[in-house]
Amino acid sequence: MFRNSRYYLPVMLMLLLASCIKRYDPNIDSSDKFKYVITGSVNKGDSVQRLYISTSSLLSRPRIIAITGCSVKIIDGKGNKYIAKDVGKGNYEAIIPESELVTGNTFMVDIQVAGGAHIISDFDRIQDCPEVDSVFYIREDIPTSNPYFPTRGIRFYMNLNAETFYCRNYRIEAIETWEYTAPFPDYADRRVCWVTSNIRSIFDFTTQNQTANIYTLYPLHFVDNYSSQRLRYMYSLLINQYSLSEAAFTFWEKMRINSSDQGGLYENQPFQVSGNLHNLSNPDQQVLGFFGASAKKSKRIFVSDVPGLPNQYIDCRPAYWPEIAAPECLDCTALVGGTNVKPKYWPN
C-alpha cells in the first residue's frame, strides 16, 4: 500500500559496486509531523453516518492516533444540524433521517476539537448511484521469475451500468471475508474461522471521458491459490459502490495515484494531497482527509471451487507440531481479525 518511492535510478554497471544505500532519517519539521485527519461521509443508503477523527503519526511508528471528545456537527444545505456522538476510538456517529438523504442535498462537517482546532469541511453533494451491475472474477496467472511457475489465481472485476444516471464518478470499496481452518486446533471451536478485511487499494473511476455512462471490466484485486486459505473453502467479496462529486473524485484519484506503485526506473514524484477540510483556528495547518456525501450501493458475491484452480495452500506441517507451530495452526482465532463466529450472511 505504501507508495514505494524507489529511485532505482542510475542503477548502473560497475557503479553498482560504488553505489550504496544506507539508513537515513531526515529531520521532519514538527508542523509536518502531526496533522488532523478527518475521514468519513454521509451516505445515502447507510442508517448510521460514521466519521473518524485522528492525527497522522510518525513514519517510524505508523498507527492511528484517535482523537476523542470532539464536538461534531454535520450540517446540511438546508441548515439542519445533526450531532455526531463520540463512540470512542476516534469514531463519531450521527443519525440523519432518510428524508434528508436525497440526491442533491449537501452536507458538511463542523468539528471543534477538544481544547483545540475548529475544523470545517466544504459542502459535498449527494449524487445518485446506480445498483452494482455485476461483480465477477476471471482466472489469471501472474508470471514470476520462473516462467514455469506463475502465480495462479483469480482477479475480480466489476461492471457499471449507469445509463440512466447523472453521476459519472465512482469509488469502490472492496471488503473480503474468507473461511479458514487451523489444522491442529486445541479446541473444536477453534478450528473454523472467518476473517474480514478491507482490500488495501483505492479503486475509483470515471466515465466522464466516455460517451456512455458504462464501465466494463473495472479491475479489482487479485487473489492467489497458495499463499493463504482464501480460495480453499469459501471466499466472499462485498462491493460498496459510492457515487462521487467532482471534488471527491479529484481527491480519491490523487490518493490513488499517490499510493500506487508505479514501477519503472524514473517514476513520478509523490505529492501532497489536500481534501476539502480547513482548520479555521490555524489556516496554515493542513487538515488531511475528505468529508463527502454520496449514495452507496452494495453487492456481495461468494466464490468457491474455482474451475481449474486447485487450492495449493500448504497447511502447517506436523513436523513442527506442537511446540513451534504458529499460533494460528492451533487456534484459528489467533489470526489477526479472525473470529470463530460465522457471519450471518455466510451460506451453510
Question: Which 5-24 positions form the footprint of another protein (CB under 8 A)?
Answer: 5-7, 9-24
CB nearer to another protein: give 232 or 286.
Answer: 286
Residues 94-123 contacting another protein, CB under 8 A: none
By CB under 8 A, residue 148 contacts another protein: no
- Please identify which residue in 88, 143, 308, 347 interacts with another protein, judged by CB under 8 A: 143
In sequence order, what are the beta bridge partners of 173?
Answer: 240
At its nearest, how many Å lie between another protein and the CB of residue 267?
Answer: 8
* Interface with another protein (CB under 8 A), residue from 266, 319, 347, 348: 266
| Bridge partners (DSSP) listed for residue 69 | none
Interaction pattern, residues 296-315, with another protein; x per rule: CB under 8 A: --------------------
The contacts of residue 253 (CB under 8 Å, 6+ apart) are 204, 206
**Whole-angstrom Cα distance, residue 17 to residue 30?**
37
The Cα–Cα gap between 205 and 171 comes to 7
Q: Name the nearest CA neighbour of 123 among 56, 83, 76.
A: 76
For another protein, the closer of residues 185 and 275 by Cβ is: 275
Yes or no: say if 86 and 92 are a contact pair by the CB < 8 Å rule. Answer: yes
Residue 336 engages another protein in binding (rule: CB under 8 A): no
1 binds another protein (CB under 8 A): yes
- Beta strands 288-303 and 36-44, pairing class: parallel
* Residue 145 or 348 with smaller CB distance to another protein: 145
Question: For cell 472474477, what's the residue?
Answer: 137
d(CA 331, CA 327): 6
Asked if 306 and 312 count as a contact pair (C-beta separation under 8 A), the reply is: no
Interaction of residue 91 with another protein, rule CB under 8 A: no
| 64 touches another protein by CB under 8 A | yes
- Edge-to-edge, what's the strand order for the sheet holding 151-161? 134-142, 151-161, 214-224
CA-closest candidate to residue 95, choices 43, 22, 131: 43
User: Of the ranges 101-109, 178-186, 205-213, 304-312, which one interacts with another protein (CB under 8 A)?
Assistant: 205-213
Nearest distance in Å: CB 10, another protein = 3
Q: Give yes or no for residue 339 binding another protein (CB under 8 A).
A: no
Q: Tell me if 282 contacts another protein by CB under 8 A.
A: no
Pick the binder of another protein from 152, 168, 232, 297 (CB under 8 A). 168
Contacting range for another protein; rule: CB under 8 A; set: 57-65, 129-137, 184-192, 308-316: 57-65
Instruction: Please identify, among the stretches 102-110, 224-232, 267-275, 326-334, the one whose residues bind another protein according to the rule CB under 8 A.
Output: 267-275
Helices (H), 212-320: 246-259
Q: According to the binding rule CB under 8 A, does residue 337 interact with another protein?
A: no
In 163-281, the DSSP E strands lie at 169-181, 192-198, 203-206, 214-224, 235-244, 277-279
